[in-house]
């Protein structure tokens, strides 16, 4: 972000408009609407800057534009020269006006037309009466602060009030009824509301794969307790002033043990906080969300679970391979490759059964043992092209090969930072094409007659191209 967005109070202040033309007239209209007093000049002289709060220029001689820019910078006066970003100290954004709500969209001077397109999209989303809702909040501002001195309580009340009946009445222009409804809601508000915990699935890493409920809770949270699989792009969607607490884990190193995480959630909620426990994937799929929910509810606190897109679903979507298919896979098994007390606690006989898809989570380190166990149970595996562990994230990495030639050593470029998910495919589903057709939105083609006539080996994703069998 090169330009810092701010809003200037220009009520009753003088601004200089140097030059002529439609572009400058448009600037003059905007500045006048903000209460500024425009001063017009055709040519530049330093004396014009006396008492000026801001300067804009367009259509003036080149030497005057440069002189204005240099003089304003020397005096610390914000200056804007239309379509000349190298001479600008500030840029004028595209504006959505719902007074007193104002939204500014800028492109840093790179693409003003694109900023205008974004403004048009926002215009279609926001209600024309949104400004009346803001005016309602301004009317009750002092009363809200007096009734709810606690910041968290005040924020929670406003989150509800500005989307509830009072806001709807204000949007419709029914001001008296809106004020009555707001006052009633304020009288009934809790001065010290109880805290709560929300176990929220952050999905496979792509910010646009968050659920709408997850996005809403991130905007309402007082504190966010997150693990290492939650990328910065997702955390950026949370409230700016929300406290962030990192409790990430890597294999054999837990910076905060699970028991302490449970206690942390309880303590924060008891302080009246709205806590979002943000977990990669889905909280209830190998995320220890069940333990956290039990701890919170045992303390007598409210705990809500918001599901997320788990890694197996993201891998399937990225690869274009269905997890279930009426002619190939009638069941789906999710299994963890994580060891407990130094050993894999896995039912290999059930994993080797045909007619199913097996998705293995946290299986990078134990991949040789997983491979050997499935083969020993009677399955025949051969390697396939890689399926991304962090399938929905840009720059995602594939895990190492799983084939008889793999000797348990990581290959070049193997990264374990993303959430790893290896998978075994059922026999007849091996005909699914890899890679999927570019830009295709359809499921991969599956030649049923060919698969019925010819048995297929059970492949496991994870091999780089050189390891294809």
- Catalytic residue numbers? 227, 249
Phi-psi region of 296 (alpha: psi -120 to 50; beta: other; left: phi over 0): alpha
CB-based contact 230:279 (threshold 8 Å): yes
Check: CB of residue 460 under 8 Å from CB of residue 398: no
Q: What is the dihedral of CA 354, 328, 367, 376, to 10 degrees?
A: 20
Contact call for residues 127 and 171 (beta carbons, < 8 A): yes
Asked if 41 contacts 16 with a C-beta cutoff of 8 angstroms, the reply is yes
Strands 274-279, 223-226: pairing kind = parallel
Give, in degrees to the nearest 5, the angle at Cα 33 between 17 and 100: 140
Residue 384, CB-side half-sphere exposure with 13 Å CA sphere: 26
Cβ distance 112 to 26 under 8 Å?
Answer: no
Question: Is the link from the previous residue into 435 a cis peptide, with omega within 30 of 0?
Answer: yes
Full strand arrangement of the beta sheet holding 302-306: 243-246, 223-226, 274-279, 196-201, 302-306
């Amino acid at each position: 972000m090169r330009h810092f967005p701010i809003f200037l109070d220009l009520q009753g202040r003088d601004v200089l408009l140097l030059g002529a033309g439609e572009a400058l007239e448009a600037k003059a209209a905007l500045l006048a609407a903000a209460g500024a007093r425009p001063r017009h000049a055709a040519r530049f002289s330093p004396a014009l800057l006396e008492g000026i709060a801001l300067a804009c220029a367009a259509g003036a001689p080149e030497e005057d534009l440069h002189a204005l820019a240099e003089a304003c910078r020397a005096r610390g006066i914000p200056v804007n020269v239309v379509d000349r970003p190298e001479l600008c100290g500030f840029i004028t954004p595209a504006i959505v006006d719902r007074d007193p709500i104002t939204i500014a969209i800028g492109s840093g001077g790179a693409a003003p037309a694109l900023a205008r397109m974004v403004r048009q999209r926002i215009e279609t989303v926001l209600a024309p009466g949104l400004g009346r809702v803001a005016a309602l909040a301004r009317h009750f501002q002092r009363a809200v602060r007096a009734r709810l001195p606690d910041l968290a309580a005040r924020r929670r009340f406003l989150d509800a009030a500005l989307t509830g009946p009072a806001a709807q009445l204000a949007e419709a222009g029914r001001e008296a009824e809106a004020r009555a409804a707001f006052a009633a809601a304020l009288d009934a508000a809790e001065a010290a509301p109880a805290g709560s915990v929300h176990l929220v699935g952050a999905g496979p890493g792509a910010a646009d794969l968050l659920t709408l409920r997850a996005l809403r809770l991130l905007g309402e949270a007082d504190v966010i307790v997150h693990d290492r699989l939650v990328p910065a792009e997702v955390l950026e969607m949370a409230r700016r002033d929300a406290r962030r607490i990192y409790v990430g884990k890597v294999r054999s190193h837990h910076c905060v043990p699970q028991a302490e995480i449970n206690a942390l959630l309880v303590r924060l909620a008891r302080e009246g906080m709205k806590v979002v426990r943000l977990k990669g994937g889905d909280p209830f799929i190998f995320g220890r969300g069940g333990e956290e929910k039990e701890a919170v509810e045992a303390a007598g606190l409210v705990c809500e679970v918001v599901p997320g897109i788990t890694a197996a679903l993201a891998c399937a979507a990225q690869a274009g391979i269905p997890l279930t298919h009426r002619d190939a896979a009638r069941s789906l098994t999710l299994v963890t490759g994580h060891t407990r007390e130094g050993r894999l606690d896995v039912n290999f006989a059930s994993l080797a059964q045909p007619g199913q898809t097996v998705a293995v989570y946290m299986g990078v380190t134990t991949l040789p043992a997983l491979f050997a166990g499935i083969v020993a149970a009677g399955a025949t595996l051969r390697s396939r092209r890689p399926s991304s562990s962090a399938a929905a994230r840009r720059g995602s990495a594939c895990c190492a090969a799983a084939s008889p030639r793999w000797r348990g050593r990581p290959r070049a470029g193997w990264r374990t930072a993303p959430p790893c998910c290896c998978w075994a495919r059922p026999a007849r589903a091996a005909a699914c094409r890899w890679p999927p057709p570019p830009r295709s939105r359809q499921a991969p083609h599956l030649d049923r007659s060919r698969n019925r006539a010819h048995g297929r080996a059970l492949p496991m994703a994870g091999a780089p191209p050189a390891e294809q069998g």
